[in-house]
Structure 1
Amino acid sequence: MAIPKRKALTSLVLRLLLCIVLLLLTAPLLLAQPALSDALPDAPEVEMPANMEGVEFYLITVDTGNHVWDNFGHTALRVVDSSSDTDLIFNWGVFDTSGGNIRFARNFVRGQMVYQLGVVPPAWEFNRYRREQRTVWQDRLVLNSQQKARLYTRLAWNLGAENIDYDYDYFFDNCTTRLRDYLDEALQGELSENSGSLMPETFRDEVFEHYRSRPVIAFGLDVMMSERIDQRMTRWESLFLPANLRSELQRKGLLADPETLMEFAPPADKVNPYWVLAGFLVPLVLLTALVRQSPIAAFGSQPGFSFAVSGFSYRLLGLLALCVVLVSGGLGMIMALGWWLSGHADLHGNINLLLFWPTDLLLLGMVFTWFWKGRVKDMTPGRHQLWTFYFLLRILSLLAYLVVCLFNVSSQQTNMLLLTALPTMLLFFLLTMISGMRPVRGMRFY
């Protein structure tokens, strides 16, 4: 019975590890709206007004913010009923964490993202955006009495205990698409009419574009998300973004009385992470120029290669290796565990696993020798052969990645990785195999 218990414990540890890394690195996208645990727990029931002329609906569009979870913006609906003197914000971005963070993390890994409709007073909602320094626009929806009645009826239905929850999907079913669909229903298809044309952008393009102010997150999501997000969006699908929905409603003449309720500067774009990655090629090319043959490098060693100006060269290699190993090993581990254990389809079938391997973390021992000691890593001939085999496998995997990308074996978009990460990784592993380690014969004295 010990073996099954050990397997169960291993599986639990891996799932907990996946919870941590996914929450740290992919939560910015998956949790585009922070928890509203103090939203009204018992949402007021909506009663149909006797006269819909006294009811006005307002589209609330919130700009991107300075936190990693709000880089897509947010959409809500304001309902003002002058006859009953009520004013409420309907917000589809609420998720429940009352069951505890562990349960939430477990459901997160499984891909079970249950969101719900929340209802709050405008003052509560707007004060939060003011604290977050996010611009908020308000537009009155141009609807006749029949359209208002249909929308009001749908809101009342949505507040039912059996309808208030929904399975969140950040592209196809989120706080913005919920309102989009309800408006289209109220308009009897007017919003979705002629909206099947393809846009030039893919879902990946929008993810990367909206995280320009968070380059580390942008790079991580770009690597970890598979080909599922590389399809070109239809005009209708592009309305998952709050700004796009507002623009489309304006284009169709369905908005009036625009008002900026509060205004703040949007987050500034940061340097493109792929330019930083390409910058690693400069020191790697320098190290390539410093490679020298070393016939007898040390007592008992075999002929091989090392670097000129060894102290500087090996410390530079160690610094570069630390970055490469942590990025490659970390991303590789997240992708591997995500594919194996997670229910998020966007983490499955990722060809970037040819580029980033979780086993690269095993190189940290060599990093210590290179960076702290400033010299080549000495090892027994057997270990040297084993590591040489590993580096050859890594080089072959990188070449396989090149073939897959060039011949469009997969539809996953990898252009920037192909231009920056691939040559960086290829040159790094070649240098490491040739000059980073040295076999040393054991000496026996009789």
Structure 2
Amino acid sequence: MVNFTTLKRTAKYLIVLIILTHFCTNGYSLQLSDQAEISLLTCSPGTELYSIFGHSAIRVWDPVLGIDYVYNYGVFDFNTPNFYMKFVKGKLLYQIDRTSFNFFVYGYIQEDRSVYQQILILSKKEKEQIFSALETNYLPQNRYYLYDFFYNNCCTKIIDLLESQVKDKNWFLHLDNPANMTFRQNITVYLSSIEWAKFGIDLIMGLPADKKMSVRESMFLPDNLMNNLNSNSSKLAGNIVTLFKGSNIPPKRNMANPNRIMWLISITIILATLIIKSKKTIIFIDKTIFLTTGLFGIFFLILWLGTDHESLKYNLNLLWAIPSNIVFAFRRKLKNNRMNKYYFLGYGIFLLFIIIFWKAIPQEFNKAAIPIILLLSFRSFVLFRQVEKTARHIN
């Protein structure tokens, strides 16, 4: 005999299970009230290198439901196994984080960094879709993603989200227009007062950083995203409102900037090699110069071939920091004097061509590299003459 009470109870359990499964796989399906707002939060640059470009996040506020969340795509875990290796190789997973609005803003107040808000112009349905998408992204199985500085970061994630959920596409039509600036030129604005960081970034970033950006690509930076949201005739956001105004005092410029230091080092070494009579000292100096630049060349090559960071590929700094310099740093151990002679001659001439055609090279080199290249060229010509004299003496 069928027990209908048991069947009813089983049916109820099944219905609850189906609903829970739906929520777990599709995120929350809460209905927002008519007073709900979704905003873009933009945080001004900080003093640390990782925060120097600012930050962007999404706020979902519904006073009726008591919701005031901030969704932040810029979080990573320092405790990740092999953290630095994964970061260099472009394998480090970033994630979306959800926190309370007050807690989020308090952190930036503590750092004395400005926080701006723009309320997005959305329909009720679009707000609910964006909220649902954010909650879905926040699920443990969805929250991680591979970070890319130019193409997949806290800002580009927001643009992708808005484009997928906003019905009116008129605002997005201008995003493919040219921005008339390269990636490298744009980030230089933020690095002007920390020139050693700029020097390092210019050394490791390759040719992709010198690509002319579209408007869409320019919004990899928080300030560009904020300014573009209401710059078009078809606005996607309201006016910029300051929630907290930090002092925003830029760091003082360091007098010992890389350009001055590199010129000082290069001129000192050139004069020293002309004055010093000790052959052992000069040999040590040459070994140090060529070994160092060769090691940098290998480093650039590893970043090019061994990482997924698009901006580190095709690095033309390899034109002057050639890995083969490591071999020729120990030239006296090589028996083939002809190879030594033509290497130093060819390398010295090639370096002069780099200086002559500096502006024509498609990758923008840091000007602090000029004295290094001139030093390498000078020592290459000197070594060419020495090898040539040695060969004549042997003959």
TM-score, structure 1 as length reference: 0.67
Q: Which residue of 1 aligns with 2:118?
A: 139
| C-alpha contact 1:204 1:229 (8 A) present in aligned 2 | yes
Q: Which residue of 2 aligns with 1:228?
A: 208
Q: Deviations over 1:268-296 (max 9, x none)?
A: 263563454345565467x2xx9xxxxxx
Over the residues paired in the alignment, what is the CA RMSD in angstroms?
A: 4.1
What is the CA-CA distance between 1:248 and the residue it aligns to?
1.1
Q: 1:385 to 1:132 in 2, by over 3 A?
A: farther
What amino acid sits opposite 1:273 in the alignment? P
Alignment partner of 1:335 out of 300, 309, 318: 300
**2:208 paired with 1:238:** no
| Mapping for residues 249-260 of structure 1, pairs under 5 Å | 249-252=229-232, 253=235, 254-256=237-239, 258-260=241-243
Q: Deviations over 1:399-440 (max 9, x none)?
A: 5646886765xx33347478554334323433566689997x
Q: 1:400 to 1:137 in 2, by over 3 A?
A: same
Count of residue pairs brought into register by the alignment: 363
Q: Deviations over 1:315-338 (max 9, x none)?
A: 8x8998798557624422311222
TM-score, structure 2 as length reference: 0.75
SS of aligned partner of 2:314: coil
| C-alpha contact 1:184 1:190 (8 A) present in aligned 2 | no
What is the CA-CA distance between 1:116 and the residue it aligns to?
1.7
User: Which deviates the most, 241-250 or 379-388?
Assistant: 379-388
Q: 1:106 to 1:348 in 2, by over 3 A?
A: same
Q: Which residue of 1 aligns with 2:57?
A: 76
Q: Which residue of 2 aligns with 1:187?
A: 166
| Mapping for residues 310-389 of structure 1, pairs under 5 Å | 328-358=293-323, 360=325
**2:379 paired with 1:394:** no
Q: Deviations over 1:36-67 (max 9, x none)?
A: xxxxxxx9x96444343221223211111111
| C-alpha contact 1:65 1:266 (8 A) present in aligned 2 | no
**2:258 paired with 1:273:** yes
Q: Distance in 2 between matches of 1:124 and 1:388?
A: 65
Q: 1:381 to 1:156 in 2, by over 3 A?
A: closer
Q: 1:398 to 1:160 in 2, by over 3 A?
A: same
| C-alpha contact 1:62 1:75 (8 A) present in aligned 2 | yes
What amino acid sits opposite 1:264 in the alignment? S
What amino acid sits opposite 2:243 in the alignment? T
Q: 1:400 to 1:309 in 2, by over 3 A?
A: closer
What amino acid sits opposite 1:336 in the alignment? L
**Aligned residues: percent identity?**
23
Q: Which residue of 2 aligns with 1:95?
A: 76
What amino acid sits opposite 2:204 in the alignment? M
What is the CA-CA distance between 1:343 and the residue it aligns to?
3.3
SS of aligned partner of 1:334: helix
| C-alpha contact 2:46 2:111 (8 A) present in aligned 1 | yes
What amino acid sits opposite 2:99 in the alignment? V
What amino acid sits opposite 2:301 in the alignment? A
Q: 1:48 to 1:198 in 2, by over 3 A?
A: same
Q: Which residue of 2 aligns with 1:149?
A: 128
